[in-house]
Structure formats: structure tokens, C-alpha cells
Amino acid sequence: MARIKSKTLFDLVKSLNKNEKRYFKIVVSGSKESDDKKIVQLFDHIAALENFEDEDVFNKIPHFKVTQLSNLKAYLFEKILQVLRAYHASKIKDIQIREQIDFAQILFERRLYSQAKRCMDKAKKMAEANMNLELQLEILKMEKNAVLQNMGDLDNNVDQLVAEVQQLNGQINNINTFTNLSIQLNSFYTRIGFIRDEQDEHRIKDFFKTNISAYNEQALTTIELLNLYRLYIGYYFFLQDFEHGYTYSKKLETTFEALPTLIESMPDDYIKSLNNLLIAQNKLFRYHEFVATNKKLQAFASRSSIRINENMRIRLLKYFYMHEINKFFMTGDFDKGVELIIHEQGKEINALLAMLDKHSALVLNYKIACLYFGAGNFSQSAKTLNKIINITSTDLREDLHCFARIMNLVCHYELGNFDVIKHYIISTYRFLLKKDDLRLFQKFVLSFLKNLSTDTDAKGLVAQFKNLKSQLLTLVESPYEKRAFIYFDIISWLESKIEKRSVQEIIKEKFESRIQN
């Protein structure tokens, strides 16, 4: 058996819910095999621990031999996976399809051709309903093999079989083109964030045009359309073209909701489609649509017909917090946001941050920092921003690393830490130059902070704030500089300093005005 590391086994055991643990114990405890009894003991021991070390096993279960443990860990790991497969088989369509394919293979080997064909036909119908092209192709491969070996009267129409294979290969090739391009664009985005300049735009557009093959949208199947729309959403979001991103997000949502069975067979993809739509609605300030879509997403988690696995549970939780925070950004209810996100559900969000991938954790921490900033808690905002600034590897979302440093400077200004601002300005300049991200927005803000003096009177400060605001307003409609205002609503902060009101008041007022209009 393959060697299994203790942490690998520990993480698997800890991932089981109560029902899965109970089912495992029922299945394995009924066995008369001595090794099965031993792995039940090992399973119970691991399930009760906070951390797992091999030495603890020998203290707790002294009759285990050192030479046995490695094999027992591997056997327990494999047994858990087998039991989980059986437990969830009735809920996971792909497992059911593969089971029928396996049955057909066994029956073929026994020369029970008619029974094998029934299993293949059943598997084929299920694979088509589930839009699993790869399994459909595997079934067709078995049918071709049966024809080549003259295995009984399979009623195969050879021409039809060849046509089906060609059609499927064409669909799979299209989907591979769309998905390959999607992950490549996503790789660019997770590294640099939104496009920074004209050079970025030309590079992305040229790359896209070069790699997208010709297609007729009207001739594409549903599964091809889903992947095509996802590709265009990511492409337009990357370019900050949220109008087109919104159009394709609506197309994706409509395609799913026109086929309710599709939502049940691809729930994770449907959740992602709603998330994309919420992002577009937020960026375009379609507030009422945003609220309606957000309610739809939250209601989805309670649908009894949908099996919510652990991956989907974490995804739904991540989307819940991301979009709740986005809603507070739109309405200006920062105090309410801090109360809900930090005070009422602080433990949950900290646990979530520990489970998220690095990119998602980075984005969520940045949003939390902005939430604190809007509520006027500049100390906590700077503390959260430092979680981003202190990350040694800055090749992930370079844009967030850049704007975290700009925002951190503003926090220290608000806190009156003028002695550290000079030092931070120098280090921020160096960082922006290293990352090739010193744009007009950054230059204006850094120059403003650099020239601020504690000796400046109130009237002089207001004049400086007004001057910076007028400089930045010239950038709001710039196709490349406008990305800065996605990360940090500095205009509202400047207005709060000029009018001597809180950021929260300013944004609430803007929200009311936009809603009325």
C-alpha cells in the first residue's frame, strides 16, 4: 500500500460529518477482519484529537506495533474513501454513470452481451442528461470496441456511432478551447488584477483573439454555451468592461434557469454564475438587482433538492461575506457591516479565512480593511492591511498589494502617525516601481501625503484636499486609471475631509441620491 502521511489521514477524518462517521462505523464494525477492527480503533482515536502525531497512537493503543501503523493508515485512508463513495453514490450522478460503465465492462468479459448493452444504454442516457461529454465518449469507445470484436448482436449502426463520436469530439474540442483560455486569463488576473494600462489591454485582447477559434453561437450545445459565457465574463471583467460582463452573466444565469435539471446536476457552476452576476451588478450599481440576486443565492443553500457538499458550503459562505460587504460599500452602512461581519460572526469569518485559498483570503481581507476604514476604525483597517503588506510573495494580485499600501498610508494620516508616513511613502514608491504600477493616481496621492505638514492650518488643509480631489476627478473616466476607484473610494474620503463629515455620511448620501435617480 502507498504510504499515507498522518496529516493527510487526519484531514480526511476531520472532513467527515456526523452522518458520514456513523455510516463508516456501521460498515466497518460489521467486518470480522482483524485489520478492520484495528482501523476502527485508529479512526476513533484520530476523530477525538485536535492534532495527530504517530507517537500518540502508541500511547493510546499500546498493542499497535510500529511496523503496522504505516499500513493501517494507508488501509484506513482507502477504506474511508470506499465508504464515502458508497454513501454518496445515490446523490452523485457521475458515480452512478461510472458504476453502470463498470457493470457493462464486467458483463462484456463474461460474454453476457445483451445485459452489457442494457447497462451501456442506461449509462449513456444518464451521461447525456448530466451533460458529461467525457463519460459519453467513454461509453461510445466501449460500443466501438464491442463492434470491432463482434460481440453478439448489439444492433449498432456503425455510421451513427462514428457520427456521434465526431460530434462529441467537436463539442469537447470547443469546450477545451474555451476552458483553456479561461484558466489562462484567470492566471493573468490573479497575478496582476485588472489591466493597468494600454499595453496590458493590447496584450490581453491580442492573446484572446489569437486563441479563440471561430464558432457559431446558435449551433453550440448548452454545455458549450455555459463554457463560452464563462469565458467572456472573465475576459470582460479583466478588461473592466462590466457592461459586457453583465450581459454575459445574465446570459449564463438565463441558460441555467431555463433548465432546472441543469441547476441540480451542476449546482456549483450555478452558484458561480450568480456570483459573477452579483459582481457585475455591484460594479454597475444595479442595487435592486443586486439585492434580488443576493437573496436568490442565499436561498439556494437551503434547497432540499440540492446536495451541498463541503466545497460548495465554503464557496457559499465566501460569497455570502463578499457580497454582504459589497452591499455595505454600496449603502454606506459601514458601522452595521463591522457589527455583523466582525462582532456577530467574527469566529466564523476567521475560520473561513483559514480555509480559503490564498487569492480569496487576500481579497476578503482587503474588503474587511475597507469596511473598517469606512466605519472610521483606521487602526483596525491598518492592522488588517498589514496582513496583506507583510505577505512575502507579492506575485498574487499585485494590484491589491499596491492599493493596500496606498490605503495604509491614508490610515496612518488619519491616526496622526506623521513620523512613519515619510518612511512608508519611500517604501511604497519602491514597491510600485518594482511592480511597474506607479500610475497618475498613485503619484497624486503620494505627492499629496508627502507634502502634508502638521503646521498647515485648517484652511490650508482643506485647500490641499480640494486640490487632490480635482486632480483625481480627471482620472475617473480614464480607461486605465479608473481601476483605482474600484479598490478605494478616495473621492468620498476627500469630501469627508473637506466637509468635515464622516466617510459613512458621505457615501450614505450618495447612495440615497443614486437610488432616487
For residue 240, being part of any structural domain is answered with: yes
Is residue 406 within 8 A of residue 376, CB to CB? The reply is no
Do 293 and 174 share a structural domain? yes
Query: How many domains is the chain built from?
Result: 2
User: How many Å apart are CA 4 and CA 2, to the nearest integer?
Assistant: 6
Residue 63 pLDDT greater than 70, yes or no? no
Mean pLDDT of all residues in 374-395: 91
Give me the amino acid identity at 201: E
Do 178 and 263 share a structural domain? yes
Mean pLDDT of all residues in 407-433: 88
Q: Who's near 159: CB < 8 A, 6+ residues apart?
A: none
Do 295 and 173 share a structural domain? yes
Do 267 and 183 share a structural domain? yes
For residue 308, being part of any structural domain is answered with: no
Which CATH number goes with the domain that contains 247?
Answer: 1.25.40
Residue 374 pLDDT greater than 80, yes or no? yes
Per-position DSSP letters for 228-293, written without gaps between them: HHHHHHHHHHHTT-HHHHHHHHHHHHHHHHT-HHHHHHSHHHHHHHHHHHHHHHHHTT-HHHHHHH
For residue 458, being part of any structural domain is answered with: no
Do 194 and 81 share a structural domain? no
Do 270 and 184 share a structural domain? yes
Do 81 and 191 share a structural domain? no
For residue 309, being part of any structural domain is answered with: no
User: How many Å apart are CA 137 and CA 129, to the nearest integer?
Assistant: 14
Do 294 and 167 share a structural domain? yes
Residue 36 pLDDT = 86
Which helix (H) or strand (E) segment holds residue 387: the answer is: helix 378-389
Mean pLDDT of the chain: 89
Give me the amino acid identity at 194: F
Residue 346 pLDDT = 82
**Residue that finishes a domain, picked among 300, 322, 353:** 300
For residue 365, being part of any structural domain is answered with: no
Is residue 239 within 8 A of residue 216, CB to CB? The reply is no
User: How many Å apart are CA 134 and CA 270, to the nearest integer?
Assistant: 20
Model pLDDT for residues 124-181, shown as the tens digit of each residue: 999 999 999 999 999 999 988 888 776 555 555 788 888 999 999 999 999 999 999 9
Residue 60 pLDDT = 66
- Considering 37-51, 62-76, 297-311, 354-368, the range whose residues carry the highest mean pLDDT is 354-368
For residue 135, being part of any structural domain is answered with: no
Is residue 389 within 8 A of residue 401, CB to CB? The reply is yes
Task: Lowest mean pLDDT of 149-163, 194-208, 286-300, 369-383, name the range.
Answer: 149-163
User: How many Å apart are CA 38 and CA 72, to the nearest integer?
Assistant: 8
**Residue that finishes a domain, picked among 33, 61, 88:** 88
Confidence of residue 17 (pLDDT cuts 50, 70, 90): very high
Residue 153 pLDDT = 52
Mean pLDDT of all residues in 271-297: 97
Task: Tell me which residue range forms the domain holding 78.
Answer: 6-88
User: How many Å apart are CA 382 and CA 373, to the nearest integer?
Assistant: 8
Mean pLDDT of all residues in 295-314: 88
User: How many Å apart are CA 268 and CA 274, to the nearest integer?
Assistant: 10
Confidence of residue 448 (pLDDT cuts 50, 70, 90): confident
User: How many Å apart are CA 273 and CA 226, to the nearest integer?
Assistant: 9
pTM of the model: 0.88
Do 280 and 173 share a structural domain? yes
How far from the centroid of its chain's Cα atoms is residue 390's Cα?
A: 23
For residue 291, being part of any structural domain is answered with: yes
Mean pLDDT of all residues in 52-65: 66
For residue 241, being part of any structural domain is answered with: yes
Altogether, the residues listed in the chain come to a count of: 517
Residue 436 pLDDT = 77
Q: How far is residue 331 from each of residues 89, 171, 299, 439, 510, measured CA to CA in Å?
A: 45, 44, 22, 29, 8
Residue 1 pLDDT greater than 50, yes or no? no
Q: Who's near 161: CB < 8 A, 6+ residues apart?
A: 140, 143, 144, 147
User: How many Å apart are CA 442 and CA 398, to the nearest integer?
Assistant: 14
**Residue that finishes a domain, picked among 267, 300, 333:** 300
Per-position DSSP letters for 399-421, written without gaps between them: HHHHHHHHHHHHHHHHTT-HHHH
Q: Who's near 420: CB < 8 A, 6+ residues apart?
A: 412
- The three grid cell numbers given for residue 239, joined into one nine-digit string: 478588461
Confidence of residue 452 (pLDDT cuts 50, 70, 90): confident
